[in-house]
Chains A and B, each alone.
Chain A
Amino acid sequence: MMMSNVVRTTTKMVSPFLVTYSIYIMIYGHLSPGGGFQAGVILAVSVILLLTAHGHVVMERKIDESQFKMIEVAMGVGILLLVSGGLLFGTMFYNYVDRGTFGLPFSGGFIPIFNILVGLKVGAGFMVVYYALTRWSEDD
């Protein structure tokens, strides 16, 4: 299903800004309100908007859904590896990276890395779910 010309043009203009905003929230999640999950949802919305406006037939030529699945699984394994790396420094879930200076982007140990991993994982996951849910609604 393809929506009208106005919707398609607006979506094309809005979607890159959503990706930029999502990356900002991912990187600065430990300094300002936000975090990995919220960033992932915004990232997924940028693709869901395009999918809704342009329809599956057009989008299937542009994006590869198996990449989303790969990102999802890779980020899940990455989170587990990152977290279990604390076993080398004492206990599981221990924040073993240097804390840095309070208030700067490089602070809080591995919290920024964790945010980025969770953001990519949640974004890819929501994309996969939306893709799987709406695949049956296509007529053409």
Chain B
Amino acid sequence: MKRVIALLLVLSIAYVLLPMEYSRRDVMPSYEYYVENWEEVGTSNLVMGVLADWRLYDSVIEAMIFFTGILGSYILLEDKNYDDE
């Protein structure tokens, strides 16, 4: 039963996602928006403007993922005989 539900879910997601197409020319692509509104951010490095202003949530969550990775590796490799703390 679970497999049938999973299969139906996958098929329904595929039904929604597969017909998506980005070939329309009348809608402005995102890079054109970034270049046209460059002055809005006020940084001369456009990559940093995209990363740290328009897509700041992505950068912050990436930093948190990095933090989680460091935490996990440190917990795994912890020195058990390290009696300093």
Residues in B with CB closer than 8 Å to A31 are 43-45
How extensive is the interface on chain A, given as a class? 35 or more
Chain B residues within 8 Å of chain A by Cβ, number: 28
Judge whether B60 is part of the interface by a CB distance below 8 angstroms: yes
Residues in B with CB closer than 8 Å to A132 are 73-74, 77-78
* CA of A107 to CA of B70, assembled, Å: 32
Q: Which label, helix, strand, loop or mixed, suits the secondary structure of the B interface?
A: helix
Contacts across chains A and B counted by CB atoms under 8 Å: 100
State whether B85 touches A66 (Cβ < 8 A).
yes
Residues in A with CB closer than 8 Å to B10 are none
Given contacts A99-B42, A107-B43, A129-B74, contact A30 B48 (CB under 8 A): yes
Given contacts A79-B60, A79-B63, contact A109 B73 (CB under 8 A): no
Query: Distance in Å from the Cβ of A127 to the closest Cβ of chain B?
Result: 10
* Interface stretch (choices A14-22, A46-54, A115-123): A115-123
* CA of A93 to CA of B59, assembled, Å: 10
* CA of A66 to CA of B84, assembled, Å: 10
Judge whether B67 is part of the interface by a CB distance below 8 angstroms: yes
Judge whether B11 is part of the interface by a CB distance below 8 angstroms: no
State whether A129 touches B70 (Cβ < 8 A).
yes
Which of B45, B56, B57 contacts A30, CB < 8 Å?
A: B45
Q: Which residue of A lies closest to B84 (CB)?
A: A66
State whether A29 touches B60 (Cβ < 8 A).
no
Query: Distance in Å from the Cβ of A19 to the closest Cβ of chain B?
Result: 21
